[in-house]
A and B are shown apart, each in its own frame.
Chain A
């Protein structure tokens, strides 16, 4: 199964790069190992979001109920799929809308490969559990049987093991040979970056506040209300502001031209020349410099 998946993935990537018109067919072929393409991707991206920004009842006693909901509570997985599908382009007009490369399906496949690798290496701390993917869907969203069939191994791992599996991809430069002996290393790290880094960034940004982020920029509206964004409630970020009356002054001491005027506070008073925060900025000194005594702290 593992080899078969790699082989198909390889063909898909090769075709994307070559810009062949049949790439979409091949993509369908690639993901046909699972019965329901969409469901497999949906479940996998829920499993990602559930591991990266999970629901955390354990934080309630310590931090309060506002810190319990995670990414799934706000539909983050839907947007992450849209984002990775629209996010990169090779400028090939016949490949997806506007030449963007649809990456969500192959990423979901790669994560399954990573999960199998983790299991192969004996590094998973728990067993695959068929009920995990089922629990990621709301009751009635899809039949448990359909979910079990569509779900790949990634979504059956524990949250921590899912993260471990993603971590494997950083080391894994999947070396996929193209035609004529060319080698294209599919960058496994990009997957980790998209599913961890970008998921975190989207979650903690203003994203949730838009009616619809995919609208043209000039039509997007955002309430900029700290209460409107779940993650802002969790970080205490107050929303974007035009400014703050937060100036304390400028740094200076009596030994040079930085800083002048009334002292606001002293930051280091056990010196002969105390360092202070004062009202006026002063300026940097146009000093003579001497480098002949330079020594490399760590010579190459």
Chain B
């Protein structure tokens, strides 16, 4: 059961919430984590999508690798539907959010949050994005000790090379870019991804002639089976904590539960933040109200400190729906790494020459294991996908219509736009010989972009988030420049056909809607509500330069936990 009061309540068990929960519980505080989605791989919820199950999990012994293997089937369509932001009950649809154009927001519900989808890429922010762009009230140096802590917990190491990474690296080198060895990146160049995925078993080297099973304990670490977006339970047969991908449910949740001071309550959607104003000025938080997503019943819990970690869309939504002061930046300044896809298709002979085989085989290896950094512009990364996810991320949407409506004669790509019909089928027939590059640009926080709520437009948890996003001219230019570099790298790698999606704004990385420096002070406590902290990606002051954000979000959450201890306990 959930008790009546705790030292700290954490709202959301996503990428960052469990980090704060672990640190505070490790310091001896009692912590309740309320999570809107289900808890996969936990014996208290043997059928988490079909039955309400238990009430709360407080022991690391509840975690079960076997159940995770069963529930994370690796089948892409099924898993995307399971993980996307919605209630545990499989008979009910996604929670609705409004987003402009045909873009989308990809976020997950469940313990682990969107790191259930994430591909484990764990680079740091570009130092210049924190020290030179003028958005952050703290220095990059303040984050360094926390990066070390997070990288150790998540076991961040250089990602392995399979055929698709070799192809990309050949192209990047031929295009004249240098290899970077650094954690703290200040110059453009390419490097392996710093991934929070255990390195593969050395047995899996192509020269080693391995033909056994890919299950634990025969194989330990990553099995190079792709599938991180679908949840990645590999190696199958491994205990929960020995799964290769260190999503927050695998890296931080076991550590948090092992303190004995943490209770995690899934299927609990927080709908209100409660405050009192004893001195008649700044309100002080006293607890929250949440709704059980199976029964619909609501409950109240009290705490000394409340940490919002519901992600960059739901944290501001919750604030706006609660009766809290309106700061002009609450919900505003959204950055999404305004992205794009540039895809290369090769002829078998050209691949043979470069890779010693006529296929790229993007379904082998880690999803994202090679990257190109360009501080000031953003980054590029190779993406291997299963065909369905590849179709929707790479081909199903475009801001410039269908390919047959565009004439890219003078452009660096051969085709541009959304693909459907014969063009789609022809291109996807080349699936074994193609590789997509994800363009991730360093978009900047603008006040017009963000989350609002409208009273008439509500679901069972109150008015839904209405999201606006309009890139600036600078954002567009940064993205165009990166797309051009991507096309060049693909050509240098020998691609015979290059396709650009010109994606509509699609949010895989969502941040900076409760910015430190605007809504939050330099400890990530709300300026306008005492004892209310934010520890998720909404607290980031900008998009960290376009680098994958989770390392920085988690580092900041770890720092915030230390500040909470300093201020209140």
Contact = CB atoms under 8 A, between A and B. Distances in A.
Nearest to A87: B93
B377 A275 contact: no
Q: Of A200, A246, A249, A252, which is in contact with the most chain B CB atoms at under 10 Å from its CB?
A: A246
Interface residues of A, number: 112
A187 B426 CA distance: 31
A298 B474 contact: yes
Contacts of B428: 204, 231, 234-235
A297 B206 contact: no
Contact of B184 (A241, A244, A249, A289): A289
A59 B422 contact: yes
Interface string B406-436: 0000000000001011101110110110000
Contacts of B317: none
B459 A91 contact: yes
Given A90-B459, A91-B459, A240-B75, A246 B182 contact: no
Interface in B32-85: 47, 49-50, 70-71, 73-78, 80, 82
A245 B158 contact: no
Interface residues of B, number: 127
Interface stretch (B329-337, B450-458, B548-556): B450-458
Quick one: which of B96, B169, B215 has the most chain A CB within 10 A? Answer: B96
Contacts of A197: 102, 104, 391-392, 396-397
Contacts of A196: 102, 396-397, 418, 420
Contacts of A18: 456
B91 A97 contact: yes
A101 B211 CA distance: 49
A281 B244 CA distance: 16
Contacts of B47: 216-218
Nearest to B401: A167
Contacts of A101: 93
A36 interface: no
B184 A242 contact: no
Given A267-B173, A289-B127, A284 B224 contact: no
Contacts of B160: 247-250, 281
B161 to A, nearest CB: 5
A97 B158 CA distance: 48
A96 to B, nearest CB: 10
Given A268-B173, A298-B481, A251 B179 contact: yes
A192 B102 contact: yes
B235 A243 contact: yes
B82 A283 contact: no
B18 interface: no
Given A59-B425, A196-B418, A240-B75, A87 B208 contact: no
B74 A240 contact: yes
Contact of B100 (A52, A167, A173, A251): A173
B431 A235 contact: yes
A56 B420 CA distance: 12
A270 to B, nearest CB: 9
Given A193-B397, A200-B395, A170 B93 contact: no
Interface in B198-220: 199-200, 202-211, 213-215, 219
B247 interface: no
Contact of A184 (B182, B454, B477): B454
A142 interface: no
Contact of A99 (B92, B422, B456, B458): B92
Contacts of A160: 404, 421
A245 B210 CA distance: 6
A299 B93 CA distance: 42
Nearest to A184: B457
Contacts of A298: 376-377, 474, 477-478, 481
Contacts of B448: none
Contacts of B425: 53-54, 56, 59, 67, 70, 234
A245 B203 contact: yes
Contacts of B199: 281
Interface string B134-163: 000000100000000000000001101111
Given A281-B158, A300-B444, A222 B429 contact: no
A4 interface: no
A217 B38 CA distance: 14
A207 interface: yes
Interface string B374-396: 01110000000011111110011
B283 interface: no
A51 B391 contact: no
A18 B459 CA distance: 10
Contact of A100 (B92, B361, B375, B390): B92
Given A206-B388, A289-B186, A54 B421 contact: yes
3 smallest beta-carbon distances between A and B, as pairs: A243-B214, A205-B388, A243-B223
Given A205-B388, A224-B75, A246-B162, 17 more contacts: A18-B456, A53-B424, A54-B421, A91-B459, A160-B404, A167-B401, A173-B100, A187-B99, A234-B425, A235-B429, A235-B432, A240-B75, A245-B210, A247-B204, A277-B166, A279-B202, A282-B158
Interface of B: 47, 49-50, 70-71, 73-78, 80, 82, 86-87, 89-96, 98-104, 127-128, 131-132, 140, 157-158, 160-163, 165-166, 169-170, 173-174, 179, 181-184, 186, 191-192, 194, 199-200, 202-211, 213-215, 219, 223-225, 227, 234-236, 361, 363-365, 375-377, 386-392, 395-397, 399, 401-402, 404-405, 418, 420-422, 424-426, 428-429, 431-432, 444, 454, 456-461, 464, 472, 474, 477-478, 481, 504
21 contacts: A17-B458, A54-B425, A160-B421, A187-B99, A197-B391, A200-B391, A200-B395, A200-B420, A201-B391, A206-B78, A218-B49, A222-B73, A235-B432, A242-B223, A250-B158, A251-B191, A284-B194, A285-B182, A287-B183, A290-B186, A297-B377
